[in-house]
Structure 1
Amino acid sequence: MTTPSASSERMPTVFISHGAPPLADDPVWPGQLAAWSAELPRPKAILMISAHWEEAPLALNAVETVPLVYDFWGFPEHYYKVQYAAPGAPELAESVRKLLRAPGTPVQDIPDRGLDHGAYVPLVEMFPDADIPVLQISMPTLDPRRLMEIGRRLAPLRDEGVLIVGSGFFTHNLAALRHVGGVPGWSAEFDDWGKRAMEFGDWDAVLDFLDKAPAGRYAHPRTEHFAPLFVTMGVADAGGELSTQRSVIDGFWNGLAKRSVQFG
């Protein structure tokens, strides 16, 4: 089988519910991610925005291959031995700096920070050869509209073959899952609401999800896992492509909605 060449066409942009390290052991979800990546044009590089990196001012991680960040606790030892030695992306980093730097909005470099599990866990399933350069940037805020504006400013990268990925979780309240079997009502209600709001193009409601969604504050007691979606929305909005959204993956994993969305 020949390896597809990197794409020079405009890339789609995606929001992935990334899963915890045990995603690799799920009988269904890894195959869904692999099938999705097989349908995508091959990226020249990947830009990741993960729920697990909040840093202000906005930061860029290492532009060369460094060890992964195993930012989780209490898991079996083999999850701490996963490797994903993707090439660094110094050229992409320079493009990001140019797009995002402006008076009052500095960009910093953290050259020893590797990819966290919000980045590498889905990438292991989607691009297992680890042969595509990857850059991760932080979320400097959780404000939906500010994150959407960051996405708009990053949007030109799509025309350079860059896959811009927001990586979070469509519902995320781990504390509320501890004594619940199956899919809790708040997770199902929020997922259904989000699906319908995106299908109807009610993007203002999505931005104001804490007040507009049923169980919004229960599905996301802290909003960092929904926040990467707003960056993805901004990328799509810059290209007039919000209306192209489609849910590529849906359903639930351990009670959490794993809805994952593609624009373009």
Structure 2
Amino acid sequence: MRDARTGQLVDVHKGVGGLLRVCVHTACAEPSARLGNLRALLTADVLARVAELDGRQVVYRHAEPCLPEREAKALARAAGMMGIHPAAVPGPDASYGSAYGGRTDVHVLAPGGRAPRHEAGLVVEVGPTRTSGGLSQEDLTESTADLLPTRLALLTRPHAAPLDLTPDELARATRQLTRWREHVATWATFPSRPMHHETARHLQTALHDDLDTPTALEALRRLEKEPGIPDGARFELFVYADRVLALELPREVGAPRHGTAEPSHDAGEE
């Protein structure tokens, strides 16, 4: 991860079996900043999932020192709908204290959030985040609609880059998620094969390089269309990637099918 304080890359994935303590600092703001706060929670969630794949234990919390109670509850509800794990220790204080048994390792800052000035730890900044084109943050996060397309849309940009979520981008993410779920359901009907090694390597390299989720997603898009790869291998890789992306890609496996996604032209299957 890149430390916003120094600009240097810091390896937070070493120390297999060790405990990684992560704190998300949300902004003290109204619902108009909710998407930025969600993006910070999502960044911490992806970081935790990658670290857990590496064999580390992760515990994290949300520091919400001046977030109104109603907004804090709305944020937590939207985070749950987006597949973000809840904080292990809730509360307004940014200090971990005895509950975590040590100092914070990583501070993730929402746009407008601040880390304790004199507290050590890596600082990860999330870029400015807004909506446009008639897309309302309140409507987006307070509805009962599926928020996993929103998760995918947020993952298509580097976490530190500015993001302007538009209706077109959200619709594009919805279509891609639907297509991938249909493909995974189809690939599940083929014999299992080992994950495609090159794609798995690209995926792991991207996720360990400052949580480069856009590159990880592009690796999946290439695998989706690459000829000559057994569909069982595609299935295993997409399911493995979903342990970090958490997009519920296997959701349609075994479900009644009204239409069938086109299987890959696969020279490796008989």
Higher relative contact order (CA 8 A, sep 6+): 1
Larger radius of gyration: 2
TM-score normalised over the length of structure 1: 0.27
The TM-score with structure 2 as length reference comes to 0.26
Choose between structure 1 and 2: higher strand proportion.
Answer: 1
